[in-house]
Amino acid sequence: MRAVLRWLRRHLVVLAGLATLGYLLLPNLVVLVFSFNKPNGRFNYAWQRFSTDAWTDPCGVADLCGSLGLSLRIAVWSTLGATVLGTMIAFALARYRFRARPAVNTLIFLPMAMPEVVMAASLATLFLNMGIRFGFWTILIAHVMFCLSFVVTAVKARVMSMDPRLEQAAQDLYASPAQTFLRVTLPIAAPGIAAGALLSFALSFDDFIITNFNAGSTVTFPMFVWGSAQRGTPVQINVIGTAMFLIAVLCVLGAQLLSGRRKRS
Amino acid sequence: MTTTTEAPPPAAPEDAPEVRGRATRKRLVPYWLLLPGILWLVVFFAAPLVYQASTSVQTGSLEEGFEVTWHFATYWDALGEYWPQFLRSVGYAATATVLCLVLGYPLAYLIAFKAGRWRNVVMILVIAPFFTSFLIRTLAWKTILADGGPVVGVLNSLHVLDVTSWLGLTEGQRLLATPLAVVCGLTYNFLPFMVLPLYTSLERIDPRLHEAAGDLYARPATTFRRVTFPLSMPGVVAGTLLTFIPAAGDYINAELLGSTDQKMIGNVIQSQFLRVLDYPTAAALSFILMAAILAMVTLYIRKSGTEDLV
């Protein structure tokens, strides 16, 4: 008994950490298990019996895969937009000293420090009053807006930590400014840009609050899930949730293996 | 601050005018880089906020249109009617933030110091849920906390629910549609936002400091209290802000896991804007929420003394 207690005390931090990890992953497990459920009625909240129906027919629910496609399309475009605009801002902030710097820094910080519902309502007020129709474009505009700051932060951190002498060396070796940028600066900044892009893709794909205010009658995947919480949740939602989790894990694992191999060679 | 660049000026040129032209062009480079992105933020982030400020002092109706009448009473009416939801938002968000810190610290510590070669695996498991729809995961809590489910059953047989009901955290023999369920959902949803900054600041701590503390006969608890925790303060501050701010404005957890008795201010703004279509009230509520959060955050940053964080 004493030995057990001593062991517990010694590994208290590890055990508590693992418990938190369990708390973090419990819903993912539930989503996985309930993707094999055959529910009785409209909601998939209670276990009935095992079935693989939803996995063999993931698009079997009206509008589900359509909303998924729309969300993917919006995520791709807003990632592209936010990454290009954000990288430009990050380079300006990391490389140059200019008068408007503090103001720009504040403008970048504010969207990250503002409750989403405030941003969502104010942007929607603007669209309403300008008579702009809600839909694909208003969602895209909103997503680029809130993803921008995250890209800037990720890229800026990377560019700030890079050695400026590398670029000077390239110039000493008669590289033109364009060559220096493409062959030296961009490859070094690439992991930061990739991180920013990945983050904005995830944020855009998953956003509900801002989209809910600025979508009108357009239905993205998170909005489909939200609606289904009221009307009835098809099992296919769990299938897609599980698939997303697995794809994410595989992508991250793949990236790790790739970077590990590169480091070794 | 001057407008020169950090990079050294180009090497000795022969003809002056061209150099001056190039210098001017170079000075303008950061502005050209900033222009599109900043324009986007000004038009779609800053301007709407200003616009919303004006909306909050408008009166009128959807049919006849709204007009600026400097009707500040909207603010008082909104505060008078919805102060319980405001207090509840702050209370739930603060509780969730404290829980996130208590739960997240051991996990961040585990990744930073104890995981060894498992570090990347644990890290992936923390980040991966980010890429699964959080709405699906929040709905999963409905299954976990369901009436008659295993969690309720166990807590009930341990008489935990009797205690929490007595404390006003739950009602009767159920977890769903109680404050506890909403706080549980908030804690769960924002936990990664606490773990990641904590991990970043813990990872920077030189492990030799721990050894030094041990060599000086500090017990593990003392080492933690006097060395590790103070050095992780930037992570604690960043994590609490990243958890508290979105949690205070959230309405998803209160909607999916709570009932009408757990409505937070986000729920009110959402229904005023999207259902009641009372834009001035929605705008005034947003502004009060924003001002309250800004005030609390400023005070908190000042108190915790890490102003360089922002």
More confident position, A165 or B107: B107
Closest CA in chain B for residue A226: B135
Residue A162 contacts B where some CB pair is shorter than 8 Å: no
Q: Running DSSP on this structure, what letter comes out for residue B67?
A: E
Mean pLDDT of chain A: 91
Backbone phi, psi, residue B66, to 5°:
-105, 150
More confident position, A84 or B9: A84
- Mean pLDDT for B81-108 is 96
Contact flag B125-A21 (C-beta cutoff 8 Å) = yes
Residue A100 contacts B where some CB pair is shorter than 8 Å: yes
Please write the tens of the pLDDT for every residue from A55-85.
Answer: 998 898 888 999 999 999 999 999 999 999 9
Closest CA in chain B for residue A208: B135
- Mean pLDDT for B117-138 is 87
**Testing the interface with A: which of B34, B187, B274, B297 to mutate, by most A Cβ within 10 A?**
B34
More confident position, B7 or A94: A94
How far away is chain A from the Cα of B166, in angstroms, using its nearest Cα? 25
B13: confidence class by pLDDT, cuts 50, 70, 90: very low
Q: Are B248 and B293 in contact (CB under 8 A)?
A: yes
Size of interface A-B (CB pairs under 8 A): 269
- Mean pLDDT for B28-57 is 92
Supply the pLDDT for residue A181: 86
Residue A97 contacts B where some CB pair is shorter than 8 Å: yes
More confident position, B52 or A80: A80
| Orientation of helix B179-203 relative to helix B119-127, angle to 10° | 140
- Mean pLDDT for A239-244 is 93
Q: ipTM of this predicted complex?
A: 0.90
Supply the pLDDT for residue B310: 42
Supply the pLDDT for residue A9: 84
How far away is chain B from the Cα of A205, in angstroms, using its nearest Cα? 8
Supply the pLDDT for residue A176: 87
Please write the tens of the pLDDT for every residue from B129-140.
Answer: 877 889 999 999
Mean pLDDT of chain B: 87
Contact flag B48-A23 (C-beta cutoff 8 Å) = no
- Name every chain B residue with its beta carbon within 8 A of the beta carbon of A103: none
More confident position, A6 or A80: A80
Supply the pLDDT for residue A98: 86
Reply yes or no on whether the pLDDT at B102 is more than 70.
yes
Please write the tens of the pLDDT for every residue from A106-150.
Answer: 999 999 889 999 999 999 999 998 899 999 999 999 999 999 999
In this complex, which of B5, B109, B252 lies closest to A13 when CB atoms are compared? B109
List, as one string, the DSSP characters of chain A: -HHHHHHHHHTHHHHHHHHHHHHHHHHHHHHHHHTTB--SSS---S---B--HHHH-TT-STTHHHHHHHHHHHHHHHHHHHHHHHHHHHHHHHHB--TTHHHHHHHHHHHHTS-HHHHHHHHHHHHHHHTPPPSHHHHHHHHHHHHHHHHHHHHHHHHHTS-HHHHHHHHHTT--HHHHIIIIIHHHHHHHHHHHHHHHHHHHHH--HHHHHH-TT---HHHHHHHHHHH---THHHHHHHHHHHHHHHHHHHHHHHHHHHHH-
**Testing the interface with A: which of B45, B105, B225, B273 to mutate, by most A Cβ within 10 A?**
B45
Supply the pLDDT for residue B17: 59
- Name every chain B residue with its beta carbon within 8 A of the beta carbon of A168: 8
A41: confidence class by pLDDT, cuts 50, 70, 90: confident
Supply the pLDDT for residue B1: 40
**Testing the interface with B: which of A14, A122, A206 to mutate, by most B Cβ within 10 A?**
A122
Dihedral angle computed from the Cα positions of residues B250, B256, B257 and B261, in that order, rounded to the nearest 10 degrees: 80
- Name every chain B residue with its beta carbon within 8 A of the beta carbon of A233: 139
B3: confidence class by pLDDT, cuts 50, 70, 90: very low
Supply the pLDDT for residue B19: 61
Supply the pLDDT for residue A44: 85
Supply the pLDDT for residue B69: 81
In this complex, which of B29, B36, B103 lies closest to A96 when CB atoms are compared? B29
Reply yes or no on whether the pLDDT at B186 is more than 80.
yes
Reply yes or no on whether the pLDDT at B15 is more than 80.
no
Supply the pLDDT for residue A155: 94
Q: Running DSSP on this structure, what letter comes out for residue B128?
A: G
Contact flag B33-A88 (C-beta cutoff 8 Å) = yes
**Cα distance between residue A59 and residue B40, in whole Å:** 36
**Cα distance between residue A210 and residue A138, in whole Å:** 10
Supply the pLDDT for residue A253: 83
Percent of chain B exceeding pLDDT 90 equals 53
**Cα distance between residue A220 and residue A232, in whole Å:** 17
Supply the pLDDT for residue B37: 95
What's the pTM value of the predicted model, to 2 decimals?
A: 0.88
According to DSSP H, which parts of chain B are helical? 16-41, 47-56, 73-109, 119-127, 134-144, 150-157, 160-167, 179-203, 207-215, 220-223, 229-231, 233-249, 252-257, 265-271, 279-304
Contact flag B37-A110 (C-beta cutoff 8 Å) = no
The single-letter code of the amino acid at B94 is A
A37: confidence class by pLDDT, cuts 50, 70, 90: very high
In this complex, which of B40, B131, B270 lies closest to A85 when CB atoms are compared? B40
**Cα distance between residue A168 and residue B165, in whole Å:** 68
- Name every chain B residue with its beta carbon within 8 A of the beta carbon of A99: 1, 3
Please write the tens of the pLDDT for every residue from A152-169.
Answer: 999 999 998 888 888 889
Reply yes or no on whether the pLDDT at A220 is more than 60.
yes
In this complex, which of A14, A24, A145 lies closest to B45 when CB atoms are compared? A145
Contact flag A96-B141 (C-beta cutoff 8 Å) = no
Supply the pLDDT for residue B5: 45
- Name every chain B residue with its beta carbon within 8 A of the beta carbon of A244: 131-133
Q: Which residue has the tokens 């800026």?
A: A156
